[in-house]
């Protein structure tokens, strides 16, 4: 994907040729072609995003527009110092990120490397690992409930504790349920990473791989010294996907218990404050702004790489 | 490298050149196979377990325990879940939301992509950044203002019985379209940029209008990318949970992915029915997966920027 | 991304596009995109029967949270009775029970139905004050003879107007199976000490003494309400709900200390369990007692298990307060601002405020009791008779924590705080007080 960004135009001679000027009509047409989608993007994405920033400095129950009252940084103060679920949510987002980054993503890479070898049945393996990627995270949450259920789930059934009072409550015990949710999310994430890395590995000149291994370097070394670095564009994409997935995580925990009791995540807290019965737009927006600022770090980093002039990803 | 990588990306599952060139080291890898088989089995368990549970009547599982192999097995849970869960309505809603969203997204994205990739324009990087960044934002960030915006967008009662964009398919379509637009624009502009400039320049010399270049030259060339993106977007929009959750409060207007969660409330303590409902919901995606696997994966790898 | 320098900008300054032409172009294209067939396909299905506020309307819509099978069927019976009686059409929009409550603000704020299921208490007053629901004085002129003063009072908001048509009510209490108590020779406890002693005995007998489920966040509020009313009295409870008393007080600490004392007898793993599963534990005699509403447990248990179900009042702790207060939430119907003036909606609400309508509902749903005086209760089960008498004899009636207090507070503060308490045995009184301060300060 991103590899296409370097764009054929660099090498095509077209830019030096004289191109006929566009007619006035063409300009109008092109303008409209750009203007409509841009307007949609601005009005439905960026305007609300900015409005969230504005609302985070107000108190509002979300019912009547003229009830909006300025509140300064009161909401931020409340969120950071008083609102008890906030810091657990931050911690859970970090845990989610670390688990994806340290376990799920490398696991996807491992699968890709194994399957990139000429191995019998590679396609079947790939299809199996890839299946969860097709499923919605909401559905992933529901399917995994059947595994995790304390009294009826497969896991406790296999462990022989189902129905006993000492059975582990995988989704109800707030010390472990975040990890149960992360395992379910990883089930999907690893397949996603695998397919992207497979594409990356196919894109590498086979002679490069061979040269490295003929060099006497062990396969392990040749992979990390030669193959992995040459997948830089994919690596960047994977880093961004992992970060964004961890920040966006929502559906699974919402399906399990609406993001409470150990499953607090920033996204879920926002929604609890925005559309729950306890609607508190100012507080919800303040958390949204926190999440936005955190999200902008990887977004800006990524975009600056992709769109840097003449950057060769 | 650009064009090449797109072609390769079309099917990363296809054998690589190395498969043919280095056949000399073909020793069996038992360890690798063992590992992969174990992992593959683990990977399949959740879906198979759901399917197995769904095949058994609740009485039988309560009597023998969920982890047992006693019969009977039948499809009663599926028919029950279908009729009690209102699946027919939810599937219809999903189709009404998904199809226009995907078409609109592709049309709008291809227009921007065409303009910014085929013509030099000082804001095109800015525009692409605007679109791509918008796609990467967590959707919860814009939820509250978007809800208010839709609430205050009046529609005639003949179009929306609520008099505004809430609780309408339009609202969900608009949100999905806007949110997916960034990704498709990004991918398509890269794809179009990689098409030789000569193509359109020749047409320009011949006096073809910008619209004709778009509709008759570039778009047909983008067919593989559009097919790949289309497949991907169908799955993504079908799988979307959040927008309908935010914008629709009527049970009979919810698409299946959002409605499935209601089943949990409705079928409490009947995991067999919940499993059947979940499997029914999976079926359309599995069909798409089996039939259009290539396109789907191509779409993913074409524009891996999607979070 | 090298620019194709020679290609002129489509937006160059020489383009001379006026704002007007651009807008025109936009309008045309936008219309083209939203082509007519799409438009037809995308509208809601019921636009023909749109609710509008024209008086003399023959159609209305009802938003219902009766999503479980039994109440859903029972309510459908009520609606069809209304339709055949009045000739009006009432379309029911059913949303999963918990989701309906969760979404209520957006629902009322967005595009609500004319009539919707809701509750009395602060939860009703709050929306009345916000002006998103319509007063029902016209309806009440017809139905007021049907209701006792206490119920009428519970339907009145701060402005003195009535906003609720009471429907059914039900008691929270300690539910148990008569058969189990008889078999084991257990006596119904009336004091806290007896209650704990009984729990101890049940544990010895291999039972789960007190069934418990808190996955949804609200069921444990019932136990809190009772403990607070028994220990600190009804008035303190009411004041605490309105945040006229501090959460960081010795009284509240005492509630949680007492609760903690009984925690070893509660069903373990409550945080992952739905109340339905806890009710089933009573039904299957795995558990001995359960603090829950009859609306919940009596609807969940069926057949013989239901016939054997009984309840006793939550035990007395401080003799000064005895067992005076009863938690008995009133469910009812309200009218959205949008529905105001719709004659069919008014007729429907007037019908719902009659004993006849309520008994149609209770004919197949035996978990609740009617609020109307004129209800013909001969068909009641023993449990329903007992419930009616129990509520009628109460000295004070509370609704429920999430109906008696600020919605934001109940849902965003109390649920996590109670779950934390169940998890590790500490209730963060100062944290809850700090949050309450902010939320109640500036509603």
pLDDT band at C335 (very low <50, low <70, confident <90, very high): very high
Distance CA C175, CA A29 (A): 72
DSSP-assigned letter for residue B29: -
Section C146-152 average pLDDT: 90
The β-bridge relationship of strands C115-119 and C165-169 is: unpaired
Say yes or no: C45 contacts chain B, CB-CB below 8 A. yes
250-269 of A, contacting C, C-beta below 8 A: 257-258, 260-262, 264
Q: Is B95 on the interface with C (CB under 8 A)?
A: no
Of B180-184, C32-36, C356-360, C388-392, least confident by mean pLDDT is C32-36
Residue B133: closest CA among A241, A35, A300: A300
- CA–CA dist B254, B247 (Å, integer): 10
Say whether pLDDT at B2 is over 70: no
User: What is the enclosing helix (H) or strand (E) of B242?
Assistant: helix B242-247
Residue C14 has pLDDT above 50, yes or no: no
Q: Do B140 and A271 touch (CB under 8 A)?
A: yes
pLDDT at A6 over 60: no
Alpha carbon distances (Å) from B297 to A104, A131, B192, C89, C228: 19, 11, 19, 50, 59
Lookup: tokens for B27: 């020793």
Across chain B, mean pLDDT equals: 83
Average pLDDT, chain A: 86
Mean predicted confidence (pLDDT) in C300-329: 93
Per-residue pLDDT reduced to its tens digit, B102-148: 999 999 999 999 998 888 777 888 898 999 899 899 999 999 999 98
Least confident span in B115-124, C51-60, C69-78, C180-189: C51-60
Distance CA B292, CA B11 (A): 11
Omega into B72 within 30° of 0, i.e. cis?
yes
pLDDT band at B237 (very low <50, low <70, confident <90, very high): very high
**pLDDT tens figures, A139-182:** 999 999 999 988 788 999 899 887 777 788 898 888 899 999 99
The rounded distance, in Å, linking the Cα atoms of A52 and C171 is 43
Nearest to B249 among C9, C38, C107 (CB): C107
pLDDT of residue C11: 32
Q: Which range, A183-187, B259-263, C35-39, C107-111, has the best average confidence (pLDDT)?
A: A183-187
Q: Say if residue C78's pLDDT is above 70.
A: yes
pLDDT of residue A2: 36
* Nearest-5° Cα angle at C218, C214 to C220: 55
For CA atoms A212, A213, A215, A218, the dihedral sign is: positive
Q: Which has more confidence, B267 or A44?
A: A44
Q: What is d(CA B184, CA C282) in angstroms, rounded to the nearest whole number?
A: 55
Compare all CA atoms of chain A with the CA of C270 and give the residue at the minimum distance: A172
pLDDT at B4: 30
Contact (CB<8Å) C106/A279: yes
Q: Is the dihedral of CA C17, C21, C22, C25 positive or negative?
A: negative
Dihedrals φ, ψ of B281, to 5°?
-70, -30
Out of C4, C277, C416, the one facing A15 most closely (by C-beta) is: C4
**pLDDT above 60: residue B221:** yes
Minimum Cα–Cα distance from B200: chain C residue: C7
pLDDT at A1: 36
A vs B: CB pairs below 8 A: 372
DSSP B251-291: GGG--HHHHHHHHHHHTTT-HHHHHHHHHHHHHHHHHHHHH
CA B65 – CA C290 distance, rounded (Å) = 25
Backbone angles phi, psi at B193, to 5 degrees: -60, -30
The band of C241, judged by pLDDT with boundaries at 50, 70 and 90, is very high
Mean pLDDT value across residues C170-199:
96
pLDDT in tens, B139-191: 999 999 999 899 888 888 777 777 788 889 999 999 999 999 999 998 898 88
Q: What is the pLDDT of residue C10?
A: 32
Residue among C10, C47, C109 minimizing CB distance to B151? C109
Distance from CA of C34 to the nearest CA of B (A): 9
Tell me if C15 and A24 make a contact (CB, 8 A cut-off): yes
Nearest chain A Cα distance for residue C94, angstroms: 18
Helix (H, G, I), strand (E, B) or coil at C107: helix
pLDDT at C1 over 90: no
Using the CB atoms, write b or e for C68-106: b if 16+ within 10 Å: bebbbebbbbbbeebeeebebebebbbbbbbbbbbbbbb
Q: In chain C, whose CA is at the least distance from the CA of A69?
A: C442
Q: Would you call B154 an interface residue with chain C, using a CB distance cutoff of 8 Å?
A: no
Q: Which pLDDT belongs to residue B10?
A: 43
Task: Please give the C-alpha separations between residue C69 and each of B251, B268, C101, C300, C301, in angstroms, as whole numbers.
Answer: 15, 11, 18, 10, 13
Tokens standing for A125?
A: 């393996």
Distant-in-sequence contacts of A79-87, Cβ < 8 A, 24+ apart = A79/A283, A79/A286, A79/A287, A79/A290, A82/C431, A82/C434, A82/C435, A82/C438, A83/A283, A83/C435, A84/C413, A84/C416, A84/C417, A84/C420, A84/C428, A84/C431, A84/C435, A85/A260, A85/A264, A85/A269, A85/C416, A86/A269, A86/A287
pLDDT score at A95: 96
Output the CA torsion sign for A165, A168, A171, A177: positive
Whether the predicted pLDDT of B305 surpasses 70? no
Q: What is the value of pTM for the model shown?
A: 0.84
Given a cut of 90, is residue A44 above it in pLDDT?
A: yes
**Contact: A146, B67; criterion CB under 8 Å:** no
Chain centroid to Cα C260, Å, comes to 27
Average pLDDT over residues A110-117: 91
Q: Which two tokens stand for residue C423?
A: 């998890």
Name residue, tokens 């009804």.
C234
Least reliable range by pLDDT among A171-175, B269-273, C189-193, C418-422: B269-273
Whether B25 shows a pLDDT value over 80: the answer reads: no
Mean pLDDT comparison of B266-275, C151-160, C161-170, highest-scoring range: C161-170
Question: C129: burial class by Cβ within 10 Å (0-12, 13-18, 19+)?
Answer: middle
In this prediction, residue B270 carries a pLDDT of: 81
State the average pLDDT over residues B192-199: 84
pLDDT in tens, A184-217: 999 999 999 999 999 888 888 878 777 766 666 6
- DSSP letters of C2-60? ---TTSPPTT-GGG---HHHHHHHHHHHHHHHT-HHHHHHHS-TTGGG-----TT-SEE
d(CA B158, nearest CA chain A) in Å? 24
CA atoms within 13 A on the CB side of B218: 33
Nearest to A167 by CA among B65, C433, C225: B65
Instruction: Give the CA angle between residues A69, A71, A73 to the nearest 5°.
Output: 155
Given a cut of 90, whether residue A92 has pLDDT beyond it is: yes
pLDDT surpassing 90 at residue C252: yes
**pLDDT of amino acid A149:** 87
Q: What is the pLDDT of residues A286-304, one digit of tens each?
A: 999 999 999 999 999 988 8
Min Cα–Cα distance to chain A from C120, Å: 15
Q: CA nearest B153: which of B144, B142, B164?
A: B164
Cβ atoms < 10 Å from Cβ of C230: 26
The confidence score (pLDDT) of residue C30 equals: 36
CB C348 within 8 A of CB C258: no
Q: Look at residue B152 in the predicted model and tell me its pLDDT.
A: 87
CA B274 from centroid of its chain's CA atoms: 23
Instruction: List all residues of chain A from 58 to 77 with a beta carbon under 8 Å from chain C.
Output: 59, 61-64, 69, 71, 74
Q: Chain C contact for B145, CB < 8 A?
A: no
Q: Which own/partner pairs from A175-178 qualify as long-range (CB within 8 Å, at least 24 positions apart)?
A: A175/A262, A175/C423, A176/A262, A177/A256, A177/A261, A177/A262, A177/A263, A177/C272, A178/A92, A178/A95, A178/A96, A178/A262, A178/A263
What pLDDT does residue B303 have? 63
Q: What percent of chain A has pLDDT over 90?
A: 53
Residues of A in contact with B143 (CB under 8 A): 48, 270-271, 274-275, 288
Q: Quick check: C32 pLDDT over 80?
A: no
Confidence of residue A16 (pLDDT cuts 50, 70, 90): very low
pLDDT mean over C74-102 = 89
Is residue C12 scored above 50 in pLDDT? no
pLDDT over threshold 80, residue C44: no
Q: Which residue has the higher pLDDT, C13 or C250?
A: C250
pLDDT recorded at residue C320: 95
Residue with tokens 């960047």: A236
Q: Give whole-number Cα distances, C94 to B39, C68, C349, C399, in Å.
A: 43, 10, 17, 24
Kindly state the DSSP code that residue B153 receives in the 8-state scheme: S
Which residue in the set B167, B170, B265 is minimally distant from C98, CB to CB? B265
């Amino acid at each position: 994907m991103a590899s296409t960004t370097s764009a054929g135009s660099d090498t095509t001679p077209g830019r030096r040729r004289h191109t006929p000027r566009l007619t006035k009509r063409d300009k109008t047409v092109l303008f409209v072609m750009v203007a409509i989608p841009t307007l949609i993007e601005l009005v439905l994405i960026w305007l609300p995003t900015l409005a969230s920033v504005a609302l985070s400095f107000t108190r509002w129950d979300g019912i009547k527009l003229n009830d909006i009252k300025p509140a300064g940084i009161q909401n931020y103060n409340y969120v950071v110092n008083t609102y008890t679920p906030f810091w657990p949510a931050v911690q859970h987002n970090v845990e989610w990120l670390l688990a994806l980054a340290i376990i799920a993503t490398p696991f996807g890479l491992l699968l890709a490397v194994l399957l990139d070898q000429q191995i019998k049945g590679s396609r079947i393996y790939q299809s199996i690992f890839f299946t969860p990627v097709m499923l919605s995270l909401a559905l992933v949450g529901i399917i995994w409930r059947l595994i995790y259920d304390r009294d009826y789930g497969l896991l406790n059934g296999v462990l022989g504790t189902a129905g006993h009072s000492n059975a582990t409550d995988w989704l109800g015990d707030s010390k472990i349920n975040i990890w149960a949710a992360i395992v379910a999310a990883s089930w999907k994430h690893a397949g996603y990473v695998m397919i992207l890395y497979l594409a990356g590995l196919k894109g590498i000149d086979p002679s490069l791989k061979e040269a490295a291994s003929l060099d006497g370097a062990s396969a392990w070394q040749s992979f990390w010294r030669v193959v992995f670095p040459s997948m830089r564009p994919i690596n960047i994409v994977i880093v961004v996907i992992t970060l964004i997935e961890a920040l966006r995580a929502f559906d699974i925990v919402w399906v399990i218990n609406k993001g409470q009791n150990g499953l607090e995540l920033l996204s879920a807290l926002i929604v609890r404050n925005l559309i729950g019965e306890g609607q508190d737009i100012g507080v919800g927006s303040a958390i949204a702004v926190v999440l936005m600022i955190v999200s902008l770090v990887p977004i800006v980093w990524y975009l600056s790489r992709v769109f840097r002039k003449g950057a060769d990803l | 490298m650009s064009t090449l990588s797109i072609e390769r990306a079309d099917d990363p599952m296809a054998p690589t050149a190395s498969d043919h060139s280095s056949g000399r080291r073909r020793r069996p890898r038992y360890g690798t196979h063992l590992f992969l088989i174990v992992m593959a089995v683990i990977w399949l368990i959740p879906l198979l377990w759901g399917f197995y549970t769904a095949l058994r009547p609740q009485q039988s599982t309560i009597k023998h325990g969920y982890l047992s192999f006693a019969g009977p097995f039948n499809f009663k849970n599926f028919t029950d879940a279908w009729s009690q869960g209102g699946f027919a309505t939810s599937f219809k809603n999903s189709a009404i939301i998904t199809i226009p969203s995907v078409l609109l997204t592709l049309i709008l994205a291809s227009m921007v992509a065409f303009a910014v990739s085929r013509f030099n324009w000082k804001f095109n990087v800015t525009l692409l950044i605007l679109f791509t960044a918008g796609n990467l934002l967590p959707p919860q960030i814009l939820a509250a203002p978007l809800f208010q915006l839709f609430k205050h967008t009046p529609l005639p009662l003949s179009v929306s019985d609520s008099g505004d964009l809430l609780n309408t398919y339009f609202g969900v379509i608009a949100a999905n379209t806007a949110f997916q637009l960034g990704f498709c624009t990004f991918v398509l502009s890269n794809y179009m940029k990689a098409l030789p400039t000569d193509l359109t320049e020749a047409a320009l010399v011949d006096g073809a209008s910008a619209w004709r270049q778009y509709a008759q030259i570039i778009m047909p060339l983008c067919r593989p990318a559009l097919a790949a993106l289309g497949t991907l977007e169908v799955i993504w929009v079908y799988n979307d949970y959040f927008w309908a959750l935010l914008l629709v409060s009527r049970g009979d207007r919810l698409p299946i992915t959002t409605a499935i969660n209601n089943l949990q409330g409705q079928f409490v303590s009947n995991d067999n029915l919940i499993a059947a409902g979940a499997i029914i919901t999976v079926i359309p995606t599995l069909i798409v997966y089996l039939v259009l696997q290539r396109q789907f994966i191509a779409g993913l790898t074409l524009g891996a920027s999607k979070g | 991304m090298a620019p194709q320098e020679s290609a002129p900008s489509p937006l160059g300054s020489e383009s001379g596009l006026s704002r007007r032409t651009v807008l025109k172009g936009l309008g045309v294209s936008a219309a083209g995109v939203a082509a007519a067939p799409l438009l037809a396909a995308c509208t809601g299905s019921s636009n023909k029967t749109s609710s509008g506020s024209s008086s003399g309307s023959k159609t209305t819509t009802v938003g219902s949270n009766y999503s479980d099978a039994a109440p859903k069927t029972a309510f459908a019976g009520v609606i069809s009775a209304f339709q055949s009686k009045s000739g009006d059409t009432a379309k029911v929009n059913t949303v999963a029970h918990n989701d309906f409550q969760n979404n209520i603000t957006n629902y009322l704020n967005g595009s609500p139905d004319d009539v919707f299921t809701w509750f009395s208490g602060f939860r009703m007053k709050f929306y009345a004050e916000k002006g998103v629901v319509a007063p029902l004085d016209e309806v009440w002129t017809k139905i007021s003879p049907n209701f006792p003063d206490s119920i009428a009072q519970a339907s009145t908001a701060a402005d003195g107007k009535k906003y609720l048509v009471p429907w059914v009510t039900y008691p929270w209490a300690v539910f148990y199976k008569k058969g189990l108590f008889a078999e084991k020779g257990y006596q119904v406890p009336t004091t806290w000490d007896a209650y704990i002693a009984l729990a101890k005995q049940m544990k010895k007998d291999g039972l789960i003494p007190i069934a418990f489920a808190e996955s949804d966040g609200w069921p444990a509020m019932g136990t809190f309400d009772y403990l607070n009313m028994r220990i600190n009295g009804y008035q303190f409870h009411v004041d605490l709900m309105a945040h006229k008393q501090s959460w960081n007080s010795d009284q509240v600490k005492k509630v949680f200390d007492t609760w903690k004392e009984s925690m070893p007898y509660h069903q373990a793993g409550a945080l992952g369990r739905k109340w339905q599963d806890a009710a089933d534990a009573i039904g299957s005699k795995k558990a001995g007692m359960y603090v829950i509403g009859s609306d919940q447990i009596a609807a969940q248990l069926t057949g013989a298990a239901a016939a054997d179900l009984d309840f006793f009042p939550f035990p007395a702790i401080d003799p000064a307060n005895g067992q005076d207060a009863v938690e008995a939430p009133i469910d009812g119907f309200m009218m959205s601002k949008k529905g105001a003036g719709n004659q069919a909606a008014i007729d429907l609400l007037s019908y719902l405020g009659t004993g006849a309508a309520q008994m149609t509902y209770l004919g197949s749903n035996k978990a609740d009791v009617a609020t109307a005086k004129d209800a013909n209760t001969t068909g009641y089960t023993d449990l329903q008779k007992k419930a009616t008498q129990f509520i009628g004899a109460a000295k004070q009636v509370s609704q429920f924590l999430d109906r008696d207090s600020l919605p934001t507070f109940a849902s965003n503060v109390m649920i996590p705080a109670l779950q934390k308490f169940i998890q590790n045995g500490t209730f963060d009184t100062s944290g809850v007080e700090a949050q309450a301060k902010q939320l109640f300060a500036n509603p």
